[in-house]
Amino acid sequence: MSLVNDLKNRANACELCGGNDQLSAYIVSPKTDELAENAVLVCNECNEQIQGNQPMNSARWRCLNDSIWSEHSAVKVLSYRLLQKIKDEGWPIDLLDMMYLTDEEMTWAKSGAEDGKVVHIDSNGAELATGDTVVLIKDLNVKGSSLVAKRGVAVRNIRLDPDNAEYIEGKVEGQNIVILTKYVKKS
């Protein structure tokens, strides 16, 4: 019996949103074994956003209100990771506060997030890489300086903070500054 069939026996719809469009198995990293306890049955649209092929649509993920209570660890772990990605929206923090994960599930959730690497995402949901050029979408006061980085300024050859997905570094008017990823868009 295939993994997808095993998951369909467990749930006959997407275990995150309840959709039925092109259901497939998503193995929650760092697990690699194709076992039902390591996987979640997801619809095409959820899978596209999880894989990063589409920008994260935080309104879509309000469905996680139900999936955080799943009896299956893989569903809870994936729900936790998705809520972490969009927690800047505000409402996901409430769900994260309500959510219960065992110590083992929490270790799984934190250890495999994005396969152990920190992923930097701009304000439009595009993944950033070292050396990219970004444009500021807001005037930013630079702490410890009288410099105001103006909206529309291009910051070339950015560097990524390896420990924090919200921080990038770049030069604005010859000064190295740290910028929050939510204030930039990739160009």
Q: What is the model's pLDDT at position 115?
A: 46
User: What is the overall mean pLDDT for the chain?
Assistant: 88
Q: If DSSP codes are grouped into helix, strand and coil, which group holds residue 121? A: strand
CA gap 111, 180 in Å, rounded:
24
Cβ density class 33-67: b for 16+ within 10 Å, e for less: eeebebbbbbbebbbebbeeeeebebebbebbeeb
* Close Cβ partners of 115 (under 8 Å, ≥ 6 residues apart): 29, 30
- Give the pLDDT confidence of 26-71 residue by residue, as tens digits: 999 888 888 999 999 999 999 888 877 677 788 889 999 999 999 9
Degrees, nearest 5: CA angle 104-52-20:
80
Q: What is the model's pLDDT at position 160?
A: 86
